Structures are given as structure tokens and as C-alpha cells.
Structure 1
Amino acid sequence: MNTAGDPRAPHAMSDLGRRVAARRARLGLSRDDVAERAGSTPGYIAYVEQQVPAPGVEFLVRLANALETTVQDLTGYAADAAPGGARAGYRARMEEIGETECWELLDGHGVGRIAVEGRDGIMVFPVNYQVVDGSIAFMTAPDSSLARASASGVDVAFEQDRMDEAFSQGWSVLLVGPVRTVSEETEARRIKDAVHSAPWAEGGRDTVVLLAPRRVTGRRIQVPGAPGAPSGPADRAPSGR
């Protein structure tokens, strides 16, 4: 079996290697693709993923750019740090994100946050999610707050975001709508088979819940001159005259 694109493969020997392989798989890139972007070779990308490398800072920067992420995220430097600690970017601006792009940013699956009414009021907790036919699917325990909410069909809010600490920019997507429990066995099995990753937490989380959003909105903060930010006359520095 070919495990070259599987970040769970046992040959990923280091934290860096696992993060590189996972990010590459998330972007749908081959080692050849990453090597071309980073000005390296497929063999060295394989070495980074499979062994315990100590690449220089210059290569890490190129590799992070190739994988559309930051050195901090790639090396896990900020894995345990609360996000958003960087200073605001110079001349940062906020813009709305259209619904089509919101779905693209959700990228099919991942981990987001859901807000639901619980026994003690509003609760917000992380969830593994999967996009299925224009809805968001979750796996939860049958006695969870999310399962109880789905039984009554109340509205919940689901949020996903990304931040680039190095440039103080990022985006967030918010989906609001009713949730329901998928009780029909064939439909539930189809969704379970489509799920990319089972819930990280244990505890019999095999109840399928679907969020059918009535409202999909997003916002982005961009800093002129930062990666991914459009450039134009308005973004140029003053001439000093």
C-alpha cells in the first residue's frame, strides 16, 4: 500500500515530518509539487517527512511558503499558544467573504467550533466536521448537548477560522442553522463512510448530526503587502512628498 500521502503513516518520524505530510495532504500536493514550489527535490521532501531532519531556517521559510502556512505552525512553535497574540497589522482592512468562498475555505473537513444551548446555557466546543452535500456533518455521543439540540431541531452556530500570526491577518466563516439527527441507517452509513477523520475524542461518538445552514457568512482581515493580499495603488507606501 502506498502511504506517501498519508500523514498517519508510521514512517513519519518527527513532529515536523508529520506536520509537513499532513499539510501537503490537506492541500492535495505531491512531493514533486512541494519540491518545485520550495526549490528542492522530491527526495529531500520525503526525507523531511520520514526522518528526523534539522533543516536550516532558509529552507523552512521556503517550505512554509510552499505549503501556504507559517514556519511557526509548521514547526509547532505556537501549537500550545493562544492564537491572536500578535500586534495588529499596518493598515489592516476587513472584508466580507462570499458564500461560495466560505465553503471553499471550509475545505471539506477539519476541526471547528460549535455553539449550542446546553443545560447550563450557551456552550462552545471544538468538533471534527465533514462537508456533505451542502451540510456540515458531525459525529457525537447520543447524550451530548449537540445530540439533544438536534433532537429538537434548534439552531446552532458553527465557526471555522485561520490566522497567520506572522502577518496579523486571517479569516473566519460562520454557519447558522438547524441541526437534525440522521436516524435513517442508509443515510447515516453513507455519511460515516464519507467522514475523513473520526472524532478525536473517545466515548461512543457514533451519532450522526447534520447542520443545514440557513446563513453562511465570512470575514477576512488582510494586511497590504502580506502573502495573499492584493496589491494596488492604494497599498503602496506614501512617497514622502
Structure 2
Amino acid sequence: MPSQPRSARGDIGRRVATRRKQLGLSRQDVALRAAAAPGYIEYVEEHSSATPGIGFLLRLANALETTVEELTGATGDLPTGLAKAAEQARMVELDEADSWVLLGDHGVGRVALAGGDGPVVLPLNYQVLDGEVMFSTAEHSQLAAADGTEIAFEADHIDDAFSRGWSVLLVGPVHVVAEEEAARRLRESAYSTPWAGEGREHVMVLSPRRVTGRKIIVRGAPGDDS
């Protein structure tokens, strides 16, 4: 029997756990869907040495509403959105409450702001705090220089397995948290330090005046209404 793709080794557990949590499933739920023992799902998620066969990977990918390529990291260096458009897809507008739900309490998004040579789009980690969005950046970065101006922030999710996704856009003024104690508390409350590394202690907060979102719904796809 063929073994799993080489890229499956080492990080498949992290990918499985992340996808399971995105879907709001327990290990028991996934085990039932994949016709597996809950203990094996736990083993795959927690042991980097786990090497499940291709038959189990196919069932697991189906249980998690994704593909074997996504679970094994084969698409990790490819841009999202390579799949063909789905049949009977439709675009719907999201209200503000649903948009905040999709943003969650943290993640990675992009900010768009005016730079010296024109518009600039920067990826960054974000944290949602009571209707505002917090970022940490370097003191002399382009984002720090935008203090007191209006910027746009966008986060999205692309599901290549079903050619669907969503995006949320926030527009409003951004300001530096100048009081060090307040900035320290915000940094400590964040889910993660910036992925880009050290030296990003400058805390900024976006207070959106406009929140909009859109979602592609595919008829018949798991989790979408017909």
C-alpha cells in the first residue's frame, strides 16, 4: 500500500488539529467521520512521528472537509485559490456581527495604508479586543508612521477544497497606545507575539468606523446552506 506523501511527516498533526478546531469538531467527532478510534486521532495530532497510510489520510481529509494535499502540507508554498470555481456558488453580504465572528479573537490579516511611494499592503498578526483590532509593529515601521491616519484592515479565509471563502474589511483610524502600562497589558493579552520576530513592541489599535464582509457559499458543500 502506498505510504503518505513525504511532506506529511512532522507537521500533519498540527494541520489536523488546526482544521478540526476551525470546524468546531471534537476528536470523537472526527473519529466517527473517519471510521477511526478517537485515540488514534489524538495520536496523530500529538506525535510528530505519526505516519498514517494513504487510506486513512483519504478518510481523514473527507472527515475534515479538505484534501490530503492540504493536510500533508503539499500546498503550503502555493497561493490559495488555485481551484476552479464551484457550480451554483453565490456571494452573500455579511452583517457586522457575523463579520466579527469570522475574524475571531486573533489571526493574520493585512493592513493597507498610504506610503511614501503610494499605497502599501502589509501582512501582520492581529488581536480583536472589544470591537477594536490591535497590532504590534516596530517603532519606525510604515505602520507606526500611520499613527492618527485612516487605514484599511482585511482578513480572509480560502477553502480550496470547495472553492469557497470569506473576507472581512475594516476601515477606520489607527493610533499608537502611548501609555506604556496600557501597551504592556495589551501585549500580554495577545495570543501570540508577531510571527515576524522580535523588536515589534509598538502597540497600535484600529477603531473601525466601517465593518463589512462577504462570503462565497457553495450549494451542497459541508456547512453551507443549500
Partner of 2:143, secondary structure, is helix
Partner of 2:220: 225
Partner of 1:87: 84
Of residues 2, 17, 33, the one that matches 1:21 is 17
Partner of 1:163: 158
Which structure 2 residues correspond to residues 104-183 of structure 1 after superposition, within 5 A? 104-150=101-147, 153-183=148-178
Partner of 1:41: 37
In the TM superposition, what is the alpha-carbon distance from 1:189 to its structure 2 partner?
1.8
Distance 2:54 2:25 in 1: 22
In the TM superposition, what is the alpha-carbon distance from 1:98 to its structure 2 partner?
1.1
Q: Quote the sequence identity (%).
A: 58
Structure 1 unpaired stretches of 5+: 1-12, 232-241
Question: Which amino acid letter does the alignment assign opposite residue 170 of structure 1?
Answer: G
8 Å CA contact retained: 1:70, 1:164:
no
Question: Which amino acid letter does the alignment assign opposite residue 36 of structure 2?
Answer: S
8 Å CA contact retained: 2:66, 2:161:
no
Partner of 1:201, secondary structure, is coil
Return 59-68 or 69-78, whichever deviates more. 59-68
Of residues 205, 217, 221, the one that matches 2:200 is 205
Question: Which amino acid letter does the alignment assign opposite residue 43 of structure 2?
Answer: Y
In the TM superposition, what is the alpha-carbon distance from 1:14 to its structure 2 partner?
1.2
8 Å CA contact retained: 2:11, 2:48:
no
In the TM superposition, what is the alpha-carbon distance from 1:34 to its structure 2 partner?
4.0
Distance 1:65 1:193 in 2: 38
Partner of 1:54: 51
Structure 2 unpaired stretches of 5+: 1-8
Q: TM-score, normalised by structure 2?
A: 0.86
Partner of 1:86, secondary structure, is coil
Q: Which has the higher contact order (CA 8 A, sep 6+)?
A: 2
Distance 1:217 1:25 in 2: 25
